[in-house]
Amino acid sequence: MPDIVTPEIRSRIMARIRGTNTKPEMILRKGLHAQGFRFRLHDRALPGSPDIIFPRYGAVLFANGCFWHGHDCHLHRLPGTRPEFWQAKIARNRERDAVVLQALGELGWRQGIVWECSLRGRSRLPLEDVIATCADWLRSNVDSLEIRGRE
């Protein structure tokens, strides 16, 4: 299926997609800050530059977009245009995610992932539940957390 816009317009559209301060990330930050948690943001000294870093708790949180990280939910659907390119790109993102999580674990950081589908879409969870789950995990000694939308 050919693209319906010119390559220049597509490039401009793709360039506007943010990698930091995304809406899911801002929702998490606001909710956790209201719960009394203090954090740092996007520390480039850490592998993968985690979205939210909690030094006091030895934990990091990633707010992963379902499309970009190849999540198996209703929000992830490959575009009809250049599917080979997108499959390869998302596969590389998933490989990078695995390497980053392993590197953070080796450095002693606990890792949490909150998937976009848990915050929006038909499978979203109540925001209070997502924030409470994150808060409980931060206060615990559990190594990892993954919050997915309802199946």
Q: What are phi and psi of 136, to 5 degrees?
A: -60, -40
- Given a cut of 80, is residue 4 above it in pLDDT? no
Closest CA to 110 of 88, 148, 70, 139: 139
Please say if the pLDDT value at position 34 is more than 90.
Answer: yes
Residue 18: pLDDT over 70: no
**Number of CB atoms found within 10 A of residue 2's CB:** 5
* Distant-in-sequence, close-in-space partners of 108: CB < 8 Å, separation ≥ 6: 58
Pairing of strands 40-41, 110-115: unpaired
Q: Report domain 21-147's class.
A: alpha beta
pTM of the prediction? 0.87
Give the pLDDT confidence of 77-136 residue by residue, as tens digits.
888 888 898 899 999 999 999 999 999 999 999 999 999 999 998 999 999 999 999 999
Residue 130 C-beta-side C-alpha neighbours within 13 Å: 28
Looking at residue 3, its pLDDT comes to 67
Q: Residue 81's pLDDT is what? A: 80
Residue 114: exposure state from Cβ atoms within 10 A (0-12, 13-18, ≥19): buried
Q: Is the separation of the CB atoms in 104 and 47 below 8 Å? A: yes
